[in-house]
Structure 1
């Protein structure tokens, strides 16, 4: 997003602060939206109970700092932010924040609430020196559709407040299968004040994907086919930008692999194939086995907890195939877990649009304030807000993307598909917008952008083209011009609608 647009949103908030300076609640909200413009993007991880949210969050961060058991802390909204020194702060519902002790057990961070109960805690904030958190704040939320209504309400109220923008700019939603409850929640997230601004800012993850194939070595292939079917489902397509299968447990353990893990897996790889297959028929058989020599009962238990049968099978096969050092093995396991495609989608769909998503949230907040608390002398604020919404091309791209995925437009199917891709439906990088290979040269990008631009200009100039299609053409043409300017190394100035 252009600096001028972000600056325009910041200026609008300052003007609103002056207009509402005698309203403490409005001032607090406006100052919060102003701060969000300069903060990292906020991405919430949500899903039903036991969907694997904390495990996936650990995989994304690359360290085991989110609790994955069923203790009190999994019932609390927990923020993970970058800081040079680790710290855990407890923010109670009533009272002042206080630090929690930093303790690790078996390499995992342990949260000790002391005398506080989960229901008395508004949020936990974990500050951690992880490079993965430099440009994003990850928010772990309690399970939706929990047997405890209070637990579910925490997530729903946090992510889908009734009369204000969500505290999350985007969401990664985990599901083991696609249930009606999943669609209902994603619909409610889209229908928050921020959702009504015309954005599709959710990614769906088919979590625990290795369980779909009963832990077989080809489980992720089966999960990929199911994810593709979900991706094409009309009900989910309008709510999520994509569906990615991920074996979360394997991803987490691969990203935090220990030398002891590798040594145990290397021992297992010395067995012949038939013996390994018999050993890995079930968890009980694996835990009770007496082979190979040197693999203790505790080591077996640790391997099973950290990798699962699928991860153990895959790791042993890779070691026998030549991945005989811990680091290359960990990287290959992470890649095969499905984590890499998810990280690529997060980068292409969310990180690349971070300024637009944050600015959109701030604008919707101001818009909500003007509507719910009108007062004399704020007419110029409404006019300035509307001008920003109309003139910022990034907002128009988000709006068109939402329209194409929901109500649709009267375009031929192949043109609708191309329009969605051009405005960033598969990511905002130039090669993704144009459907080219990642290694496409600048000349190839320019040539393809010119070809696409010519086609959409012809459509716009056709006197028979429907007015709604003309609006699509204008956005697509502007996006193509932006691609060409980027390829030429030219800053394309904002143009009026």
Structure 2
């Protein structure tokens, strides 16, 4: 059996042939063909003031990503706006504060498309002003991470996204564009005696007043200034060392890891999902009797897309929404691609064919025993069945 990307590519070309007499459909479908060879399109979306542009700057341009700063999502978006956002991108970072009903409505709207409902695997929720959630304290992101962990397990929010990640966007953006002048200004500030500096850092009004300080506030925010001065006093005594620690402490490293795990490492799966959405639009908007077999093939691909089930299980296991015994959880995450998607990484062996085949056969036997264990509940057995299918794919090379 061919993989999802191969089956989608084949169907895309079949639909292109069937609609060769429709300029609009042809243009649309060729665009999706071209996207298979492009970087992953990642839209950064959220309400006004959520920090979209700041986070785009923080993430920086990367060869494997095409970052899109989406227009702000208003409280009452026009019909179809969220579907268009999802059609124009392969994945979405949705920025929010404390999630509320409007955020849940937006995330649900991202799944209005039939393919998106069948494969809700292309969004990350980002608490993008994590420093504000934690009151601007130097440990604010630590507190915000605890909030994010709680939301990952939330019965309403959890199923609507792959993960919830906390990041202090403004400080992260400053760390990403950190320079020698920033370091010298912050180092001079950190050299001020604590009894003099700490009262100034209690509020923006107290700290502002001098051009250099106001520039720091505009770039780092009060949280970033507090964090940077603390790190300087603890030994981050070079621009590179300070920038590295700022990136880690602001949550940007964790966000990049989540983007890699769920999006860039699964680029062929997400591009296939985008193409399937595009195919569905053509078949729905320009129906014709000769396209009936193509509709049936689209439905077969969606029904058999094990790659989507892997991504959902990976998200559920990492978030704690799906549970397996401790000795099984980490192995399941590895086998479904949580530590790398190539066969050797999944099976924990070298890349040679015989090694992979032997390890895959052993994993199939072991997980079948787990799935038949009466001690496991129904949800655990369902999770085990996904792992078994992954191992069978590794065994057969598909």
Instruction: State the TM bucket, normalised to the shorter chain.
Output: 0.7 to 0.9
Unaligned runs of 5+ in 1: 62-129, 289-296, 486-491
Task: Compute the displacement of 1:403 (Å).
Answer: 9.6
Deviations 1:373-413 (CA, angstroms, capped at 9, x unpaired)? 332333443344345445554244347679999xx9xxx95
Q: Would you say the 8 A contact 1:197–1:364 is kept in 2?
A: no
How does the TM-score come out when normalised to structure 1? 0.68
- Equivalent residues in 2 for 1:435-446 (5 A)? 442=349
Distance 1:403 1:336 in 2: 25
Q: Does 1:21 align with 2:15?
A: no
Sort the Cα spacing of 1:266 and 1:194 in 2 relative to 1 into closer, same or farther, 3 A: same
Structure 2 residue matching 1:22: 3-state secondary structure:
coil
Structure 2 residue matching 1:200: 3-state secondary structure:
coil
Distance 1:224 1:316 in 2: 22
Task: Compute the displacement of 1:258 (Å).
Answer: 2.0
Q: Does 1:365 align with 2:269?
A: no
Q: Would you say the 8 A contact 2:87–2:278 is kept in 1?
A: no
Distance 2:46 2:327 in 1: 29
Task: Compute the displacement of 1:252 (Å).
Answer: 0.2
Q: Would you say the 8 A contact 2:144–2:166 is kept in 1?
A: yes
Greater per-residue strand proportion? 1
Deviations 1:417-458 (CA, angstroms, capped at 9, x unpaired)? 968983789963259x9xx9x9x9648x99998886444312
Q: Would you say the 8 A contact 1:48–1:175 is kept in 2?
A: yes
Q: Which residue does 1:493 correspond to in 2?
A: 397
Task: Compute the displacement of 1:44 (Å).
Answer: 0.9
Q: Which residue does 1:349 correspond to in 2?
A: 262
Q: Does 1:159 align with 2:82?
A: yes
Q: Which residue does 1:49 correspond to in 2?
A: 48
Task: Compute the displacement of 1:356 (Å).
Answer: 0.6
When the two chains are superposed, the root-mean-square deviation of aligned CA atoms in Å is 3.9
Deviations 1:306-348 (CA, angstroms, capped at 9, x unpaired)? 1111111111111121111111111111111000000000001
Q: Would you say the 8 A contact 1:198–1:402 is kept in 2?
A: no
Q: Would you say the 8 A contact 2:163–2:315 is kept in 1?
A: no
Distance 1:420 1:248 in 2: 31
Structure 2 residue matching 1:44: 3-state secondary structure:
strand
Structure 1 residue matching 2:178: 3-state secondary structure:
coil
Distance 1:48 1:179 in 2: 12
Structure 1 residue matching 2:258: 3-state secondary structure:
helix
Q: Determine which of 360, 366, 369 is the counterpart of 1:458.
A: 369
How many residues are paired up?
A: 390
How does the TM-score come out when normalised to structure 2? 0.84
Q: Does 1:428 align with 2:338?
A: yes
Greater per-residue helix proportion? 2
Unaligned runs of 5+ in 2: none
